[in-house]
Structure 1
Amino acid sequence: MQLKQDCVRYVLLSLEEQKFNMIIFGANDTDIATKLADDRFSTDDIRYTLFELFSGGFITAEITKFKNDYLLRVTSITWAGHELLDDIRDTEVWHKTKDVTSSFSSISVSILKNVATAVITGIIKQKTGLPL
């Protein structure tokens, strides 16, 4: 499966809203995917994104592996996850970041974060004149 950048942003923003009572009980990846799936992202897209966010250290979760599947019980967003989300949260920053990366067939999450950071820095320099 392909990790979709827009889905990463969507999932992190949704998890941050805490609609799943994650902190207290954890939230099952299938339940999260069912609630978040829409015309842009399927339940498989959401589940895959959750697994990859867990693998990358952006969310904390407990994983239970089965013969042909897995269950991920998500408990929180990590510090690194919040840093990534803060870099890509703003719609203007997100659109400019996507414009910069759109000419490439594939961009890692760490490169995406670096580009978003550079975009934010550029906007701050432009608006404030501060030498960042």
Structure 2
Amino acid sequence: MRRDPDLIRKLMLRLEELPIRRGGVVSIVPDDETEIVEGYTPAEIEYHLRQIDMAGFIIGDRDGRPAGGISFREFTPAGHDFLDAVRTPETWAKTKTAASRAGGFTLEILKDAAKAIARGELHKLGLAL
């Protein structure tokens, strides 16, 4: 299965919206009607949830991992950085364009490209870093 950066972004945004009590953990199962991202199959969602987990973007409960899904407690700093870098649709579109010009992507490249685009926007505002 090919990795789909749009699905990864959508899933990360969905994870961010989950109401998790302090110290709580949520089990995410891709065939649960409430967790489906429109236009994607449960198999695609499961694969991409695991990619998010393996990329080190989230912290869950390894012992309490549901079959065919993930457990989610919180984002790691890398997960927050990725999500903050690709949050706006405008930055995300520019990021995907930059990655396609480079001939491919990794999650790290996407995050770095989005951060560079954000830095460019700050520079245009006279807030160079």
TM band (smaller chain): 0.7 to 0.9
Gaps of 5+ in 2: none
* Residues 34 and 43 in structure 1, CA contact (< 8 A), matched pair in contact too: no
Measure the CA separation in 1 of the matches of 2:33 and 2:54.
Answer: 17
TM-score for both structures, normalised by structure 1 = 0.80
What is residue 96 of structure 1 aligned with on the other side?
94
Measure the CA separation in 1 of the matches of 2:33 and 2:123.
Answer: 39
Q: 1:32 to 1:24 in 2, by over 3 A?
A: farther
CA RMSD in angstroms, aligned pairs only: 2.3
Q: Which has the higher strand share?
A: 1
**CA offset at residue 104 of structure 1?**
4.4
**CA offset at residue 110 of structure 1?**
0.4
Measure the CA separation in 2 of the matches of 1:32 and 1:25.
Answer: 16
Q: 1:71 to 1:90 in 2, by over 3 A?
A: closer
Query: How do residues 18-33 of structure 1 correspond to structure 2 at under 5 angstroms?
Result: 18=18, 21=20, 24-30=24-30
Q: Which has the higher helix share?
A: 1
Equivalenced residues, count: 125
The answer to whether the aligner puts 1:42 opposite 2:30 as a matched pair is no
CA deviation map 1:39-59 (0-9, x unaligned): 2x2211211111111111101
What is residue 122 of structure 1 aligned with on the other side?
120
Q: 1:25 to 1:117 in 2, by over 3 A?
A: closer
Q: 1:3 to 1:63 in 2, by over 3 A?
A: farther
Q: 1:100 to 1:71 in 2, by over 3 A?
A: closer
What is residue 61 of structure 1 aligned with on the other side?
60
Q: Which moved more, 1:94-103 or 1:7-16?
A: 94-103
The answer to whether the aligner puts 1:84 opposite 2:82 as a matched pair is yes
User: In percent, how many aligned pairs have the same letter?
Assistant: 30
**CA offset at residue 102 of structure 1?**
1.9
CA deviation map 1:41-87 (0-9, x unaligned): 221121111111111110112346xxxx7542222222211111000
